[in-house]
A and B are shown apart, each in its own frame.
Chain A
């Protein structure tokens, strides 16, 4: 397969790429199904009144973070090559975002 990728014949290359794209798309659909599942679990966790707040709030936040990772790495292709700078700057943004939210949840002087 790997040799085909570098083939001089564009038709062979095309067939290879089509196949690769199709495989990629399959993974996308799987991650979509997982994301729907995570969403359902989150809605269920909130609707189910036997869970205490101390469980359900951290739990749904965790689900949200997992789901966002799927979005970033699969839907937005951050798992592909050439995304080093996007990753650095997204994580930079997440770092500042985290500090901000943390501060506002703790030291806003209620």
Chain B
């Protein structure tokens, strides 16, 4: 754009990009791909469980598919898809030209990507991990082959990426806000991104340690979890859930943020109770760290510990309830437009409340002894994660698609996707509450006929096909939009409230020609209500400083990917250790290069900006 020299091939451009908007697209593509893989695995499981004594998948394969479904969906689909939306939207919402650390932003993406690829390599190299997404130590230590090792190393690599991205968003939101964008004027999606990033910062280290200890036990002869030598497997469970429970909020808080944006936008009303929404998000984030042992009620921690964690867990229902009512009051009396994103938002509320109610049921420690490890739990967390997070991702994708790609998605197809997905979701998971109450344990690969489980499982499987159909229509929608989609305006929905709708769709490389002056909550809406076309600038038009692209994030991540193979096989083959060292040399060598090569970035000149802005106005 700026000079002829920067006209590189598309692939090289994306391999070296540090632009948050392009990284968002990378996250969307990679996360979407893993979402399809995870969805396929879910479908395979439902086919196996369609009828009693089915032999579509054998028990071994079922365990692998089940483990990979959970792991892929949490770590490699939901998290990166949220990062896609955060990257696309948050810098624009706070009136910034970029994130605080563009280089680390790219590094975060490539680490996640190589971690996910590494994990999925297990399918072709002797079998996937098979100890569930939690990979409890007692079970995973006994798992033969290298599946679990793929899980450990893959998650470790992608975990670093997630941590880096979390820190990046925290600093971005603290330092990069436009003049006038105080904390209490930040859009809810930015607020939830901030709190979720803080949770990432504190929740991922325990996971890192848990995975590290398990890896040391499996590959390097340590005894953390071997009772014969004094080890204790409960340590792993604690570490996993100290991470695992905040992880739920890492996923669901940004989902809340997306719905807050969508509901306010399409109700044409300011979000009801904005400050109580902020308060609720922070409180949920805080309480989220004090409840992890409710996943371990049946471990035998003792009645005192169980009681404390039960009460703490139920407390979270209070801030969540605040949010639910605020959404309802936002819609009340609003001028509601049922676009595709709004349909997801409206249906999210009852769906998520059902997940919340079963959550409070599960939080009662004595009752949990009945529910534990049954399909009731499966139904509960799918109501929360699909009804909350996946609905939000679908809503957010439809809502911000024009801002990311400059073209509208087809509304009719969007609504068909919604209906299929919504019906399929409830068909699949509602019945699972009852399957669980009737005693069907989770994670089993088959069941016997005539125990009252046949019809329920069949219904559930039919629901899964509905969801699959919905996703296929979404993919068709994407293809049609990219070929012949309507070009999106800057304010694509016509009722945008926040700053991202003030810049062209897609946003120019430098986001804002002039950093805006923010004069209140819903900054763009305020300007529109005063009859202004654009934002009030906070600075004169001038040269804009931009970060240089770099291939080093890719190489650093590639090094860890290579090194992980070396460590995985170092007990089996003599080439293992040299390969591991080679990979680390690549990684640390690239970090060294990054440290010693000065990178001052470059400038886009004022004339080019004026020209680009003119073009943007014309189009």
Contacts and interface: CB of A to CB of B under 8 A. Distances in A.
- Touch A–B, Cβ below 8 Å: yes
B300 interface: yes
Contact of B302 (A89, A93, A104, A107): A107
B238 A89 contact: no
Interface string B302-333: 10010000000000000000000000000000
A90 to B, nearest CB: 11
A107 B202 CA distance: 21
B202 A109 contact: no
Contacts of A99: 242, 289-290
A103 interface: yes
A100 B206 contact: yes
Contact of B202 (A85, A96, A104, A106): A96
For A85, A95, A103, which residue has the most chain B Cβ atoms within 10 angstroms?
A103
A92 interface: yes
A96 B289 contact: yes
A87 to B, nearest CB: 13
A108 interface: yes
B290 A107 contact: no
A109 B242 contact: no
A109 B293 CA distance: 13
A108 B202 contact: no
B448 interface: no
Given A96-B202, A109-B299, A103 B289 contact: no
Which bucket holds chain A's interface residue count?
Answer: 10 to 19
Interface string A72-110: 000000000000010001001101100110011011111
A107 B301 contact: yes
Contacts of A106: 305
A6 to B, nearest CB: 24
Specify the main secondary structure of chain B where it touches its partner: helix
A104 B238 CA distance: 8
Nearest to B235: A108
B198 interface: yes
A97 to B, nearest CB: 9
Contacts of A89: 170, 198, 201
B232 A108 contact: yes
B279 to A, nearest CB: 16
Nearest to B302: A107
Contact of A109 (B174, B198, B232, B290): B232
Given A107-B302, A109-B299, A109-B300, A92 B198 contact: yes
B605 to A, nearest CB: 33
B280 interface: no
A109 B206 contact: no
Contacts of B242: 96, 99-100, 103
Contacts, number: 40
Contact of B301 (A93, A95, A100, A109): A109
Contacts of B238: 100, 103-104, 108
Contacts of B290: 99
For B198, B206, B238, which residue has the most chain A Cβ atoms within 10 angstroms?
B238
Contact of B174 (A85, A92, A103, A107): A85
Nearest to A93: B202
B15 interface: no
A100 B290 CA distance: 10
Contacts of A95: 289
A92 B202 contact: yes
A96 B289 CA distance: 7
A109 B460 CA distance: 38
Nearest to A100: B242
Contact of B293 (A92, A93, A107): A107
B234 A103 contact: no
Contacts of A110: 232
B191 to A, nearest CB: 15
Contact of A103 (B170, B232, B293, B302): B293
Interface string B572-614: 0000000000000000000000000000000000000000000
A73 to B, nearest CB: 21
A103 B245 CA distance: 15
A107 B292 CA distance: 12
Interface in B457-492: none
Contacts of B198: 89, 92
Contacts of B289: 95-96, 99
Given A96-B289, A99-B290, A109 B234 contact: yes
Nearest to B289: A96
Nearest to B202: A96
Contacts of B301: 107, 109
A93 B198 CA distance: 10
A10 B199 CA distance: 44
Contacts of B293: 103, 107
Nearest to B300: A109
A103 B238 CA distance: 8
Interface string B140-183: 00000000000000000000000000000010001000000000
A108 B241 CA distance: 13
Contacts of A93: 201-202
Contacts of B206: 96, 100
Contacts of A92: 198, 201-202
Contacts of A104: 235, 238
Nearest to B304: A107
A67 B170 CA distance: 29
Interface of B: 170, 174, 198, 201-202, 206, 232, 234-235, 238, 242, 289-290, 293, 299-302, 305
Interface of A: 85, 89, 92-93, 95-96, 99-100, 103-104, 106-110
Given A93-B202, A99-B242, A99-B289, 14 more contacts: A85-B174, A96-B206, A96-B242, A96-B289, A99-B290, A104-B238, A107-B293, A107-B305, A108-B232, A108-B234, A109-B234, A109-B299, A109-B300, A110-B232
7 contacts: A85-B174, A89-B201, A96-B206, A103-B238, A107-B293, A107-B302, A109-B232
Closest 9 CB pairs of A and B: A107-B301, A109-B234, A96-B202, A107-B305, A108-B234, A96-B289, A85-B174, A100-B242, A108-B232
